[in-house]
Structure 1
Amino acid sequence: MAANRRRPTVLAAACATAVTLGATALAATSASAAEVPLKGYELTWGIKESYRTYVTGTAAGAFTPAGGATQAEGNGVFTFVDGTGSYDSEAHTVALGFEGSLGIVSKAHGFELSLSDLKFDSRAATITADVTRASATRQDVPLAEVTVTRTMADMPTRLTKEAGDVFGSASYTGAAGDPLTVVEKKTGSPTPTPPSGTPTNTPSTAPSTTPPATPSSTPSPSTDPTGSTSPKPSPTEAATKGRISYGTLGWGVKQSFRTYVVDGVAKGKVTVSGGAAQASGNGVFTFPDATGTYDTDADTLKASFKGSVNFKGHEDNGGYGLDLTLSDLKAEIDGGSGKLTADVDSLGEKSGDVTLAELGPKSADLTAKDDVITVGGVTATLTEAGAKAFGGFYRAGAELDPVDLAVALTEDAELPDADPASGGGTGGTGGSTGDTAGGTTGETTGGAGTTGSTTGDVAGSLASTGSDVPVGALGAAAAVTVAAGAGVVFAVRRRRMTDAARA
């Protein structure tokens, strides 16, 4: 790969971004030629898979659909029925309300609530529901923002602050929810449908297979989703899917973790290898040599990256209480969601393809410019499996450092500047300014370290022990953690340390 492939590229503006224009009431209004009544729709949404797993697993609770609502087998997604509402043929938006309710109960964790009167509004790009708890009902609570698409199938969702309150965890705020699908339930004779090119008021809002449109208000099929008359790209243009030529992934894991290892009580070091590099100042990591596939029509990307990063700390007699290696990183993007996996080696215990984080791209559209796909500032939310990889100290739902992807589709394409010395990968956040002994490669070693305050994603009270101290990442070697004044006292199993040193 040529060393000078650094021409800046940017992700093209998304053609299907939903614009929030405020809540739209479903109540009947005065008759208007622009409004077409709708009925017989279904809404399918799972809220969030990890939440369903928590309710029926750790919380030993249950979901109880009623009033026509159902749940798919295997603790699956929920479907609400008999959707009615209207289609605005001038604004090209739909507003639908659905029958059915969902009870959510856990005696073990002491919560009981129900969701009912679910509504989907494509103009506001939201899902709302009435939430009942302790006999009190809050109406039209916004649970998720929706990236509305023309087909209204598998639309990416992002949970709101109110959803975090309803489902009992602030970590859900801004987290990727399950995809949402709104479809017409086919019964009897089909309703008339508009041409496949019917545009929308908000990009990709009104589906081509749903609301009937009147001849006087139905725009030309050549009109694009933004309402302009520019023609869509011809299907004879260059291929939109294929194999990745090369690329990089920029990710810092978690800034507070890097600080803890290098500058905190761990008094340790960070080592990159296999082609990976680290930005100066204990910054983020860059993993090179991407291989994989892309499909910009389907908005999917699957890429594997070379290189590894090792975190060591709490040295005792030549062994380490913390010895964690992440390698063979893989990023998968599917519209507005995705996942980040890695092989994990913690104190000699290896696990392959661990899903460390759920990814949330800023846009559901995957676009190539100058034969490069750039996806920057992707949010990364720690999964249950990722929490286990860190020994259970960080809670699932904790925010990790953002992920930046840049992949070339041809050998001659030039990637954005990914020089780690410039401050971090392909645009990620930088680290602390602790002592470094390796520059952009090799090791980063720490000094005496400082202490700070913890944040809400830490499962424990460590007010005086350093920021986000990931004690659980020490694995079996750290049996006891004690918050004591200015530091953390670790009781280390000497025999395990000796074994590690011999290895």
Structure 2
Amino acid sequence: MPATTTRKLALAAAVAVTLGAGALTAATTASAAEVPLSGYELTWGIKQSYRTYVTTYAAGTFTPAGGATQAAGNGAFTFAQGTGSYDSDAHTVDLAFQGSLRIVSQLHGFDLTLSDVRFDSGAAEITADVTKDGTTTDDVPLATVTVTRAMTDMTTTLTKQAADVFGSASYEGAAGDPLTVAQTATESPSPSPTPSDSASASASQSPSPSASTSASPSGSASASPSPSASASESEEPPAEGDIADGILTWGVKESFRTYVVGSVAQGRITVSDGAAQAAGNGAFTFTGATGDYDTDAGTLSAAFEGAVDFKGHESNGTYGLDLTLGNIRATVDGGKGELTADVTSLGTTTEDVELADLTAASADLTPTDDVITLDDVTATLTEAGAKAFSGYYTAGTELDPLDLSVALTDDAQLPSGDGDDDATGTPTATASDGTAGSASGGVTGSTTGGTGVTGGALASTGADVPSGVLGAAAAVTVAAGAGVVYAMRRRRTGA
């Protein structure tokens, strides 16, 4: 940070302490001054599936220029040399970034350029100048942002204007890629690190509804009343043996389901051979498990009946996307494992494709009422899985989690196998998180409401302030308990 900026932040800190002590003096005017900022960069991928759509199905290109860059592997975009100001009264930042991004597809007939990308924490939005069909529109709001103190991996939600810019009405209300705004050019250490740290701690200790909501989401599913009593009433199964039955619930990937039935692919999803799909374009349930287990060794191998077929991009009766997954098998050893399937793509079948690496929350396979249950098992796409999806997702992408239950005896009671036990949660509430298409694009019974992500979170909570630019002024104010209300207001400054 430039030395002049450091001195201004230190001065703002002194003013904040004065206000916290109740001494309303002429320094009040100085506390509301805008502190100039420079040396910032903004990283945002717009939407992962949109990038994939452009470079694969649309056979298009992304061309960053003027200082903008793109991460390897068709990754996110970074706009550098951000300048702007910090409003020490409203505790907001307004930054404009250099660089442009041209997006072109001759196949699908679009050519657009994004420039003058801006982030305004007061308005909680990302804007850009958009040049499309030879016409430039300034300050187009592309996404609303859930602003956080750290300004890293902030949740974004695409706007109606973004849907118009990127050519799909289904994008409106859909989740965009996370946004990070960070200072990269610092000339001196940030002043008053101790108050800043205490302010961060203060903010992090405030009530967090999301934290309480996300805690143990599957706990109730795995709980069973009086397991010890049930065990005492019947003979326990052996520590190892053959699986009598079982079900696996897995959504593959919510964004992929949404893309298939959305306005881009305009396709359909069908299940067969005993598989089922939850309402609202939800997850799939595969039944009729066979295999073996060893609770002492912590191993389990189960194969499931049923298949799911994804079709899209139809032209004259031929589908550009035609993918079937069947003979789903899950193996676990010490809490780690793999998910395999027979994959049929465009008429060609490859058996035993390792789609995903599995990670269970625990290596414990102790049965309850003769049923081994693994909930919310993390599934990470492998290289082979990425090829199965024709590069739509890259290796390492997190797929939907899966739920797995296997019966060790013929009379053991399994969870419902009708497809309602969705491993992804409530599909009708989260379908708008889809990628290239959202829930509004042909998903029966789904909604466009998203997952509760809204703009203006800073104002509504009064807790999360972007610490990367507050410096000593905001830190001391919070630490002194001055009761600052973080007002959300839009303020444009020259870049």
Alignment TM-score, normalising by the size of structure 1: 0.43
